[in-house]
A and B are shown apart, each in its own frame.
Chain A
Amino acid sequence: MKEGLIQQFEGYGEVARDIEVCRKYGIDYTLEKGSVEKFINRLHPGRMTLRVADIIEETPLDGTLRLVPEDGYLPPFQAGQYITVSLETGNIRTSRPYSIASPPNQTGYYDITVRRVKDGLVSNHLLDRVERDDVLVCSGPAGNFYHNPLIHDRSMVCIAGGSGITPFMSMIQEIVDCGLDREVFLFYGSRTLEEVIFRKRLEAIAGRFPNIHFHPVIENPPEGYGGYKGLITGSLVKDVVGDVPGTTFFICGPQGLYDFCVPELEKLGIPGKKIRTEAYAPAAPISNQPGWPENISPDDRFEIRIKDGKVFSARAGEPLLMTLEKEGIFVPSECRSGQCSRCRVKIISGKVFQPAGTPVRRSDRRYGYVHSCVSYPLEDLEIMI
């Protein structure tokens, strides 16, 4: 800059004085070192090291891991959110999201309840191999399935299937512990009575608090069972709840539950925006999903080529993320249900199947980015991690 030019501008003297004062009393930014990370970690730690303090058998199928922080601090969360457990099992580095079942009004521990999946890689590892005092590496709490006071009604109909009860357990305990002004009608679908998780606790809460209503709905009930049987139908909901306007519906469970219950609720005239569903991984076999090409079997195999990396074969019916993990290629992941975009990879060539409604950004679609947790190879692929 040419010397002496701005010095001729009107008001330069004052600006010069400002600078002089600020040089004397300015900000020492070195004091901020590490502060951004520290502040953010109080709410959204990228990674937490949690110790298994207790293992509680809930049902023949389910166990709860009570997790306490190694460093003494757990961030608050919104009832309904999940953490993702990262682990290595059978030489595969992978992860799974689990809704936090304990309420957010205490952060001494998080409970996660794990249901055994037949041949499941992670559920069997967590239920059979993990012991008290073992350490698990987890993500911070995340997810968009929670009661949002800005738009959700004080009256909630919660529909759970199987281990989908966990977010509702957290919500209900928070409501009764904190005396929140909300009413909950919980319909809990289960194959058998034995598989109803938290049954005793839920019955006790419903017995004590008039704003909590607990209705197990059993598909194969024992003889003489007096409760609700079969599936959670619209007419059952209407019979129990009565008038539904002014109510928000929350659904969490396996895909079959959504496929059945959402249309049932829509038949009652409930608008889509009043029905909130937790993210879920599509049910296997993937070839049953609408839009899956007829000429491809889930057992067909295609060649995957990583840009500047290895080449391997993949099953069409297995999510790309899982295949990558089995090949020892680590891709960070969180929700594993197509929502969070953490496991985003770029398809350079070839075609993948993505279930309808997977929320991928428009420009991501244009440039071939997919959420690998819900992408299935339909052709030979070249991909970029």
Chain B
Amino acid sequence: MSDYDVIVVGAGNGGLGAAVTLARKGLKTLLLERHNVPGGSATTFCRGRFEFEVALHQLSGIGTPDNRGPLWNSLKKLDVLDDLEFIEMKDLNRIVIPGVLDITLRTDVSSVVEELGGRFPREKDAVSRFFELVYRYAFELYSYFTNRDAGADAVPLVKRYAFKTAQQVLDEFFEDPVLKAVFGAYWGFLGLTPNRLPFSYLAILFFSFIEMKPCHIMGGSQALSNALVNKFIAHGGAVRFNCAVKRILVKNGSVAGVETGEGDEITARYVVSNASKVSTYVELLDREHVPDEFLKEMSIKTPSPSGFCVYLGLDCEPEEVGITAATNTIMNSADLSDGQYNRMHALEFDADTDMVGFSCYDVADSRFSPEGACQVSLLTLKYAEPWLRLPPTRYYSEKYRCADAMVSLMEKVCPDVRNHIEEVEVATPLTFMRYLATPYGSVYGFDQYAKDSLFMEHPRETPVEGLVLAGGWITDCGFETTIKSGISAAGTIMRSLGAER
């Protein structure tokens, strides 16, 4: 007899989605998490009187009361909707190119068309047509993935645009590079500049945010992770924090359990790994259990960027420093091609070249921070390699130098912000590496080039029977997809058990 039916390694979105589903089905499940709180990226931390949100900027897939989205349905399956309060964000994004453009887009098409039409009158029609394409493309994608028997000719837009980059489509529709940059600005949520990013991801993002509205969660993403753990425990699940897994144990080609960092062996018939795919295959499984073909398949993929974040607790209301939108992007230029991509490979943050996204949740909901205060999280994507090459003795000085430059860029839009900083914390790619234990501190799993995109066949099998993966490394990045990957992982186990009976 095994100690557990299933052991879930990691309490990120994927692990939690799996754990709750399995416990609700009555399986004896153990959830192991190396950190002292659940969530992985979906977490918060306290400094002074602030509780800072780590990762969630705009949550997709919740939808509105008359139009519920896929994440709402996932959370309904997990039975945590009653435990959560979602706050709809009224702004899509405020996009600023200092001296060139400062525009705030709302979350409905007609207002975006009006807003952009006012600024780019000759291209107003093109903006309308672009959104028409986004909508028709999203619907075609849906029919493509639900009924593939209809053939490629039933989905002419998918056939035409599936392998186009976002930049190719923006070039097809628009003339003004500034207008293209307005649409391209969201690349930061997806990890690749528009000239490398498949159009599909940008289209899905716009469709989702406009059709189903971006949200935030009261209490931050930690409220979600905690609600899921709570549900898991309520259904008899066992959870251990501060418990890392060192190895996944294999016997006769099948999963046998795990060995913890403390050297305890715990047996189980199934293991769900919410560790990165790389860690699972390279660190947790012994080499002899991973056939070359699995490593070969993984070898074509590149790890996504990590991030550099500055979390600011301000001693004032957002308006006082000129923050008018919950989600903001500041760019120094409209050119979002390889020049911008290459900036991700530079260690330093340059206030006159780099771009930054920043969120101030208090604009959407004043309860987010203490009264009379607000919080800002500034994010830029950076690959970890230059940070790995840095001598440790220079780490702190570089960290503050880059953070200082990032605040300088914010000052171009909010000139007085520095005078209002009460608390500050900085996260480098090494910080993400430390807390997520992902290779190169990647925050989005593998990069999402066309060759890795949703149209390509992703292998469902793992090298070992009884081992199932969940999380951002086997699906597209984001909360919506990672939670769903956990539910699917649980489904795989239920089907396998069903087949046994």
Contacts and interface: CB of A to CB of B under 8 A. Distances in A.
A74 to B, nearest CB: 10
B342 interface: no
Interface stretch (B1-9, B128-136, B217-225, B476-484): B217-225
A29 B226 contact: no
Q: Which 4 A-B pairs have the closest CB atoms?
A: A26-B299, A11-B163, A359-B46, A22-B300
A332 B36 contact: yes
A150 B400 contact: yes
Contact of A6 (B282, B404, B456): B456
B220 A11 contact: no
B44 interface: yes
A148 B47 CA distance: 13
A361 B163 contact: no
Contacts of B451: 15, 18-19, 22
B450 A15 contact: yes
Nearest to B438: A36
A118 interface: no
Nearest to A4: B152
A36 B279 contact: yes
5 contacts: A6-B456, A18-B449, A18-B450, A19-B300, A22-B299
B287 interface: yes
A8 B162 CA distance: 11
A107 B47 CA distance: 28
B439 A35 contact: yes
A344 interface: yes
Given A18-B450, A22-B300, A363 B219 contact: yes
Is chain B's interface secondary structure helix, strand, loop, or mixed overall?
Answer: helix
Nearest to A358: B46
B282 A5 contact: no
Nearest to A26: B299
A200 interface: no
A239 interface: no
Interface stretch (B106-114, B186-194, B389-397): B389-397
A129 interface: no
Contacts of B152: 5, 8-9
A78 B223 contact: no
B163 A15 contact: yes
B19 to A, nearest CB: 15
B282 A150 contact: no
Contacts of A369: 226
Nearest to A17: B451
Interface string A127-171: 000000000000000001000111100000000000000000000
A1 B148 CA distance: 8
Contact of A10 (B47, B164, B298): B164
Nearest to B384: A39
B423 to A, nearest CB: 8
A12 B163 contact: yes
B315 interface: yes
Contacts of A11: 162-164, 450
A317 B302 CA distance: 54
B299 A148 contact: no
Contacts of B148: 1-2, 5
Contacts of B438: 36
Given A362-B223, A363-B223, A9 B37 contact: no
Contact of A28 (B299, B315, B404): B299
Contacts of A242: none
Given A11-B450, A18-B449, A29-B439, A150 B407 contact: yes
Interface of B: 36-37, 44-48, 51, 148-149, 151-152, 158-164, 219-220, 222-223, 225-227, 229-230, 233, 241-242, 278-279, 281-283, 287, 295-296, 298-302, 315, 388, 392-393, 395-396, 400, 403-404, 407, 421-424, 426, 430, 433-434, 437-439, 449-451, 455-457
A367 B229 CA distance: 10
Nearest to A44: B434
Most chain-B CB neighbours within 10 Å: which of A343, A359, A363? Answer: A363
Interface string A344-365: 1000000000000001111110
Contacts of B226: 361, 363-364, 366-367, 369
A366 B450 contact: no
Given A19-B451, A29-B295, A361-B51, A40 B434 contact: yes
A226 to B, nearest CB: 39
A383 B109 CA distance: 51
A33 B295 CA distance: 13
Nearest to B241: A344
Given A5-B148, A150-B421, 6 more contacts: A6-B455, A22-B299, A30-B282, A39-B388, A332-B36, A341-B37
A150 B315 CA distance: 15
Contacts of A36: 279, 283, 433, 437-439
B430 A43 contact: yes
Contacts of B434: 40, 43-44
Contacts of B223: 362-363, 366
Most chain-A CB neighbours within 10 Å: which of B164, B227, B403, B433? Answer: B433
Contact of B281 (A27, A29, A42): A29
Interface in A318-353: 332, 339, 341-344
A180 to B, nearest CB: 11
A330 B422 CA distance: 36
B282 A273 contact: no
A273 B388 contact: no
B154 to A, nearest CB: 10
Contact of B298 (A29, A75, A344): A29
Contacts of A259: none
Given A8-B159, A29-B282, A36-B279, A76 B407 contact: no
B126 to A, nearest CB: 21
